[in-house]
Chain A
């Protein structure tokens, strides 16, 4: 008998969330079944596997997979486990290969997953159907603007429909130029915190910035004042959230998210005029694709320390990340930087430095987030802490917006509010109360 009642763990009307969400092993197990086994999960960007034979090793929830491009050019996502006895067949981060060979008994798979070699095949006396024993394929793999997603659920909505109004936001992030690519391999590190704390924070917690990242103001590196700028919270039916924050009308220090002027004409050419005009006034786009992929593009003041030239008002970067669960109390964060290849080289290098000084394990912003999330996870595991109702009730009357330029449900957040977190946990709660995927055993 569990100590908790699933139906009561989240109360979006009261704006409260139970500590059990961040500490309980059974909730973690149910999440893997009811959320990660069903959802579209981000596994990488097409620019990481441009050529036939290219592969990268990735994780979906806790399932280790291979993402490869076959000789037919198609992208496949396959469980990294030999069909004979289950050994991992790919043991490196990335590469190019014709086949994966299991080191145990030598079963060999094509880069697209078919079983192409079985030592002592005759000894199976005709009983082994190799056509049924390729690496277990994720039944659905789709891309959107080069972003590769896969799902273990055979049925369900297509990716573009799943992304819903966030697809419109993705246009502005991942299709604004024809040269969007990742910068280097993903950086990975372990944070002893529940994965949802990262996902919900990126869903739209704007008001932690003043305290958690208060060093920025203390050191006079303050980003352009936000007074007068409205944030738009965009969401749809599948639990995804994005917040688009504008520059104050009289202090736009970096139009188009502080991207370099050289790429503005291409953005104008490729995007809808409404997207282009919206981007002109934007300072930040942040959000989470449910359950565990987040993205952030943000402008920093051009302080030399962040990597920008001294005379530049603003520098910016775009990052995508995964909050990979490793149990209720630990996650592995995977981060990528995404960049417009057509931007000038000096800008790309400045952006790379700016990103790495602010985010990732060495990032001056991210390390303070990790400290908070780790403390929460460790602290809430005790019995008395379970009596706490965690508070997510700010801005219950956040008004909806009627004249939004794009699709989706949109709310205007004048300054701060917790609408994004409520929507995130509300969706989590709804999925957790649906039945699990049928178990084969």
Chain B
């Protein structure tokens, strides 16, 4: 584990907080700039077993299985006037906590785990969706800046209590 006194820890926090700010303010194109060309971005399905194991997530059934290209398509879609799930736009708040940083596979990479609580409110609704879970990321230093190279979003819900996953995490 890389300790909070390591300068890289603060850089990781800066990265995660910037991401959250861009997502919560709808600056999705700017968020895409933080992703590497070879990004993998997935939200596997949580399944219910009596005992919790790593097998509790299905990598065949996923709520999201994305690349940079498919995320760009999703962002482009929002501007078409036909993205009804995001009309009006969701109001989100990304809470990012419990950040754990570990050495990555190469000197240029870090493994970053964080807890997330994402609140989403829409339209005139007074109920909100809560997406709670853990993100397991790989950050890579590209041309002096950190970028997201891999993200696996592990939701705590097995039956998603929201009508869609139309936002980014």
Contact with A along B125-169 (1 / 0, CB 8 A): 000000000000000000000000000000000111111111000
Provide the residues of chain B in CB contact with A62, threshold 8 Å: none
- Among the listed stretches B4-12, B79-87, B104-112, B113-121, which one makes contact with chain A, having 4 or more residues with CB under 8 Å of it? B79-87
Contacting pair B162 A215 (CB below 8 A): no
Q: Select one of A94, A332, A337, A371 contacting B164, CB under 8 A.
A: A371
* Beta-carbon contact of B58 and A189 below 8 Å: no
| Cα(A256)–Cα(B160), bound, Å | 34
Bound-complex Cα distance A212 to B82 (A): 7
B163 touches A370 (CB 8 A): yes
- Once A219-B73, A332-B159 are accepted as A-B contacts, the answer to whether A92 and B50 lie under 8 Å apart by CB is yes
Of chain B, the residue at the smallest CB distance from A190 is B161
B160–A93 touching, CB < 8 Å: no
B45 at the interface (CB under 8 A from A): yes
B166 partner residues in chain A, CB cutoff 8 A: 362, 367
Q: Please indicate the chain B residues that have their CB under 8 angstroms from the CB of A272 in the complex.
A: none
Q: Which residues of B contact A263 (CB under 8 A)?
A: none
Beyond A92-B50, A213-B82, A357-B70, is A185–B163 a contact (Cβ under 8 Å)?
A: no
A334-388 residues with Cβ-Cβ distance < 8 A to B are 337, 352-353, 356-357, 360-362, 364, 366-368, 370-372, 374
* Interface membership of B101, Cβ < 8 A: no
Q: How many A-B residue pairs have CB under 8 A?
A: 122
**Chain A residues with CB under 8 A of B36:** none
Task: Tell me the nearest residue of chain A to B76, going by C-beta.
Answer: A219
Contact assessment for B164 and A184 in the assembled complex, using a CB-CB cutoff below 8 Å: no
In residues 44-63 of chain B, which contact A (Cβ within 8 Å)?
45, 47-50, 58-63
Q: How far is the CA of A213 from the CA of B83 in the complex (A)?
A: 8
Q: Are B65 and A353 in contact (CB under 8 A)?
A: yes
Q: Across the interface, which residues of B come within 8 angstroms of A218, CB to CB?
A: 80-82
Q: Which residues of A contact B102 (CB under 8 A)?
A: none
A91 within 8 A of B: yes
In the assembled complex, A64 has its CB within 8 A of some CB on chain B = no
**A188 B158 Cβ-Cβ under 8 A:** yes
Contact A92 B48 (CB under 8 A): yes
B69 within 8 A of A: yes
The verdict on B20 contacting chain A, using a C-beta distance below 8 Å, is no
Smallest distance from the beta carbon of B113 to chain A beta carbons, Å?
Answer: 22
Interface status of A197 (Cβ within 8 A of chain B): no
CA of A362 to CA of B163 in the docked complex: distance in angstroms? 9
Quick one: which of B50, B64, B85, B159 contacts A356, CB cutoff 8 A?
B64
> Could you give 29 example pairs across A and B, Cβ below 8 Å?
A93-B47, A93-B49, A95-B50, A183-B60, A184-B60, A185-B45, A188-B159, A188-B160, A189-B160, A190-B161, A192-B163, A212-B84, A213-B82, A215-B77, A218-B82, A219-B76, A337-B61, A352-B65, A357-B65, A361-B160, A361-B165, A362-B63, A362-B64, A362-B166, A367-B85, A367-B165, A368-B82, A370-B164, A371-B84
- Interface residues of chain A, those whose CB is within 8 Å of chain B, are 91-95, 183-193, 211-215, 218-219, 304-307, 332, 337, 352-353, 356-357, 360-362, 364, 366-368, 370-372, 374
Q: Report the 9 A-B pairs with minimum CB-CB distance, sorted nearest first.
A: A184-B60, A184-B61, A367-B164, A214-B82, A189-B160, A218-B80, A367-B85, A215-B82, A362-B165
Q: B residues bordering A, Cβ < 8 Å?
A: 43, 45, 47-50, 58-66, 69-70, 72-74, 76-77, 80-85, 87, 158-166
Q: 16 other contacts beyond A184-B58, A361-B160, with CB at 8 A cut-off?
A: A91-B48, A91-B50, A93-B47, A93-B158, A184-B45, A189-B160, A189-B162, A190-B161, A191-B163, A213-B82, A218-B82, A305-B73, A356-B62, A362-B165, A370-B85, A371-B87
